[in-house]
């Protein structure tokens, strides 16, 4: 028996609930492929121990009735019905800490979070490079509490024939108030505890995947106190935006066979270039959507190495005051 809505990398397709329905597939997280065998279905799993997770001060999700739960697919863990946001630090060895930091926002269509593939694995890899990483488990739109109900609701929404038009990123931001609040709180916490975590408060960036990429961009465009020093968008929407005057350097990675975002132009890239802000764009021939840290045979697997080289080019792999080659900065 096969089930539509799942992909071969372990990612799932999750359209948004009613208040974000206008965003449509622009916020869904899935690879091309669709149906998978019974053995590949999601299986419920106990909430894993998260001893280092710090509760953010944004409060519980208004109106939430379902409790947080977790499931596993392709040996990767996902959370859903997150009602209280947390931030989990992954700190580098002090001997090689660079002072740079990255807030990591997993994707999942704002209905689930790919905590392992797009969260913890990314954070561990960054910490290994000397960059402090903080995985943001932001609040999610509610789904049925039981797994069968969750799967049915997901399948029904994904199989709907009518698709609303995609709004501008600015319009979509109106439905992301809880998530943007969580993101801002994460930045505030990292800067508040910067000395303890050996972080330079002026070198805190953010990277997001799919819906997490949208949250990263929305946090940047909101113009509030978060002000990321640099941002990374991995397989997120590339709709043109109005770029802030002091927009941070931006890294973008996308596969040319991404079923959601590869055929709508590259307006976001053009917007950053027209504003004369730094941008690096990697368009991989293959990789689909949701590749994250999964080791695939496609060159999209190399996105992380490219990202690390990029942040290094911007001086994030050396302590402040040193150039990327280790020489004193001029």
pLDDT of residue 13: 31
Q: Is residue 161 part of a domain?
A: yes
In a domain, 326, yes or no: no
What is the pLDDT at residue 224?
86
Q: Within 10 Å of residue 188's Cβ, how many Cβ atoms?
A: 14
| pLDDT value at residue 151 | 82
C-alpha 69/C-alpha 58 separation (Å) is 20
Number of domains in the chain: 1
Residue 23 within any structural domain of the chain: yes
pTM equals 0.86
pLDDT tens digits, residue range 248-259?
A: 999 999 999 999
The confidence score (pLDDT) of residue 323 equals 53
Inside any domain, residue 266: yes
Q: Following DSSP, what letter does each residue of 161-226 receive, concatenated?
A: S--PPP--HHHHGGG-HHHHHHHHHHHHHHHHTHHHHT--TTSEEEEEETHHHHHHHHHHHT-SS-
Q: At what angle do helices 121-128 and 303-313 cross, to 10 degrees?
A: 40
pLDDT in tens, 97-138: 999 999 999 999 899 999 999 999 999 999 999 999 999 999
| Spatial separation of the C-alpha atoms in residues 298 and 55, rounded to whole Å | 37
Domain around 183? 2-313
Q: DSSP states of 238-293 as a string? A: ----PPPTTPPPEEEEEETT-TTTTTS--HHHHHHHHTT--EEEEEESS--S--TT
Residue located via tokens 């991995």: 234
What residues of the chain score a pLDDT lower than 70?
1-40, 154, 157-172, 321-330
111 with 16: CB under 8 angstroms? Answer: yes
Q: Return all residues near 276 (Cβ < 8 A) that are at least 6 apart.
A: none
* Position 329 in a domain: no
The closest of 254, 190, 245, 196 to 221, measured between CA atoms, is 245
User: Whole-angstrom Cα distance, residue 227 to residue 72?
Assistant: 34
Quick one: pLDDT at residue 175? 84
The domain spanning residue 127 has which CATH number? 3.40.50.1820
């Amino acid at each position: 028996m096969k089930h539509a809505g799942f992909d071969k990398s372990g990612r799932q397709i999750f359209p948004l609930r009613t208040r974000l329905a206008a965003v449509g597939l622009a916020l869904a997280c899935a690879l091309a492929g669709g149906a998978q065998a019974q053995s590949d279905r999601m299986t419920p799993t106990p909430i894993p121990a998260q001893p280092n997770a710090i509760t953010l001060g944004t409060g519980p999700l208004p109106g939430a009735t379902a409790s947080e739960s977790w499931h596993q697919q392709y040996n990767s863990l996902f959370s859903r019905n997150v009602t209280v946001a947390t931030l989990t630090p992954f700190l580098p060895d002090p001997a090689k800490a660079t002072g740079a930091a990255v807030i990591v926002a997993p994707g999942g269509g704002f209905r689930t979070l790919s905590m392992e593939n797009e969260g913890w694995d990314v954070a561990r890899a960054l910490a290994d490079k000397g960059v402090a990483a903080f995985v943001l488990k932001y609040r999610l739109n509610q789904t049925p509490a039981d797994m069968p109900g969750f799967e049915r609701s997901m399948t029904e929404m994904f199989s709907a024939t009518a698709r609303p038009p995609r709004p501008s990123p600015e319009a979509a931001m109106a439905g992301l108030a809880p998530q943007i609040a969580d993101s801002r709180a994460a930045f505030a916490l990292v800067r508040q505890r910067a000395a303890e975590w050996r972080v330079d408060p002026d070198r805190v960036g953010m990277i997001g995947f799919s819906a997490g990429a949208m949250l990263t961009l929305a946090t940047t465009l909101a113009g509030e106190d978060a002000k990321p020093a640099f941002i990374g968008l991995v397989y997120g929407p590339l709709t043109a935006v109005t770029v802030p005057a002091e927009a941070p350097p931006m890294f973008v990675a996308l596969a040319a066979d991404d079923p959601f975002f590869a055929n709508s132009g590259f307006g976001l890239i053009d917007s950053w270039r027209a504003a004369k802000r730094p941008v690096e764009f990697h368009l991989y021939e293959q990789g689909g959507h949701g590749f994250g840290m999964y080791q695939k045979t496609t060159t999209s697997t190399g996105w992380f190495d490219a990202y690390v080289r990029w942040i290094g080019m911007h001086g994030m792999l050396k302590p402040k005051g040193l150039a990327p080659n280790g020489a004193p900065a001029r």
